[in-house]
Amino acid sequence: MNLYFICYICRNTTKTKHKMVLEIRLSNFFSIKDEVVLNMQAANIKTGAAKKLLSNTFTCGNERMLKTAAIYGANASGKSSVIKAIRACVGMIFTSHGFNENTTFAFTPFKFDDINKPSNFFIRFLLDGIEYEYSFMLTNNEIIKEELYYYPNGKRSIVFIRDERKGPEKKDIYVFKSAIRRPMDVAANTSKKTLFVSRASQMDRDIAKGVFRYFHERFILNYIGYNSFTVEQLLNENKEQFLNVLKIADSDIIDISSRHELKPYTTAVFDPQNNNSILSSDDIQKPQLIITTYHKNNPTIPFDFFAEESEGTKVLFNMMLTILDIVKNNKILLIDEIETSLHTKLVEYIIGLFHKSESAQLIYTTHNTYLLNTCKLRKDQIYFVNKRNDGSSDLYSLYDYKDFRENMNLEKAYLQGRFDAIPYIDESSSTFTK
């Protein structure tokens, strides 16, 4: 079925207002030269192995979407370029309304090609049951083209088209329909350094605000921090998952709890109502998060989490806050080298949390071949990145290999180089001499 009609199907056959990635296309970012495509629509695989992995997908009407996508490749193959490019483009949407004349955009185009060739970003996504297509073209110094379409009734409709090559006048550069009120006011305040979506959101235009919030609230580019009350809520609501993660990480913590206590400020505070006199620390109190852990050796002795637990435990705790928030609220997470500082079983557990979610999505790169198993991942969930002879990176799916049967040893086939995307080692020579 054509994805153009997913929005119509979802709105009319499901109550859930899905917010998901459908497809991402990139060209001329970092080691990516020619267009690469990351498709989060599940392929029509009818094998027994695929049927056992239905939880790795979720439905939107009659369509099935992927919850996770794994990207494999050798060191320096360019798999990180896919994540970096998406982060750079989403970051542009977040921040471009604040750019000035001297701003240089935070990405590098493919270096072994025409230095003036523009880079392209395209994304199809679902927002509140409606499909959107958003794209822009840019160089390091200016935005050249930007487009937004949506499908409010299952039919493609223009929100705006912007092409800076059409002429110096805003009326020549922009095409609008009726989706945005007073669009030319926004255009008049949009420079070549600024995405129209970013400026329109800043200027309180509804449809642009919705798109901006989608990227800002749903796209999690890295592990993030939380305020103390959010930490307490996430911990209390997901205590079992936290303890499971700590157990997998070989921690002997068997219980964990959190609460807020009123603690006095430790620094002087000025009172503006009383000639800026210094208030006593006893006069002012603030709620402070207290996390207490209990260990297997003696479950009756409390430990102060922040003062007495290891740095590794605290890092893992903060990471899980982000993951559990994403899983609970069906957001999208990008992780480069998911296995960094994590045990294989812990990586598997984290991926499993996404597969148990309603519609959360995870896009990650990895070297971990343990998960290269068609009993764990569908063929359409597995991508490879290979470095071409010209130094550019190519992205392709295991699903493209029609002759690969699911009863074959995928990990072995990958390590043998059947799908490329592994380092070439010349065993005939050695850097060591006697």
In this predicted structure, the answer to whether residue 272 has a pLDDT above a threshold of 80 is: no
Given phi > 0 = left and psi -120 to 50 = alpha, else beta, which region is 204? left
In this predicted structure, the answer to whether residue 406 has a pLDDT above a threshold of 50 is: yes
pLDDT confidence of residue 265: 60
User: How far, in Å, CA of 233 to CA of 321, rounded?
Assistant: 10
Give the C-alpha distances (Å, rounded to integers) separating 19 from 4, 5, 65, 172.
15, 15, 12, 34
pLDDT confidence of residue 429: 44
The SS3 of residue 326 is: helix
pLDDT confidence of residue 116: 87
Cross-strand bridge partners of residue 73:
385
In this predicted structure, the answer to whether residue 398 has a pLDDT above a threshold of 50 is: yes
Just give the CATH number of 1-224+327-434. Answer: 3.40.50
Mean of the pLDDT values across residues 274-290? 65
In this predicted structure, the answer to whether residue 385 has a pLDDT above a threshold of 70 is: yes
Full-model pTM: 0.88
Domain definitions of the chain by residue range: 1-224+327-434, 228-326
User: How far, in Å, CA of 16 to CA of 60, rounded?
Assistant: 9
130-170, pLDDT tens digit by residue?
999 999 999 999 999 999 999 998 899 999 999 999 989 99
Q: Using alpha carbons, select from 61, 87, 53 the residue that is nearest to residue 382.
A: 53
Q: Using alpha carbons, select from 27, 37, 28 the residue that is nearest to residue 112.
A: 28
Share of the chain above pLDDT 90, in %: 72
> Higher-confidence residue: 256 or 115?
256
| Residue 63 pLDDT level (bands cut at 50, 70, 90) | confident
Q: Using alpha carbons, select from 144, 131, 96 the residue that is nearest to residue 210.
A: 131
Angle, vertex CA 177, rays to CA 176 and CA 183, nearest 5: 50
292-328, pLDDT tens digit by residue?
999 999 999 999 999 999 988 988 898 999 999 999 9
* DSSP-derived secondary structure for 138-176: E-SS-EEEEEEEE-TTSS-EEEEEEEGGG-SSHHHHEEE
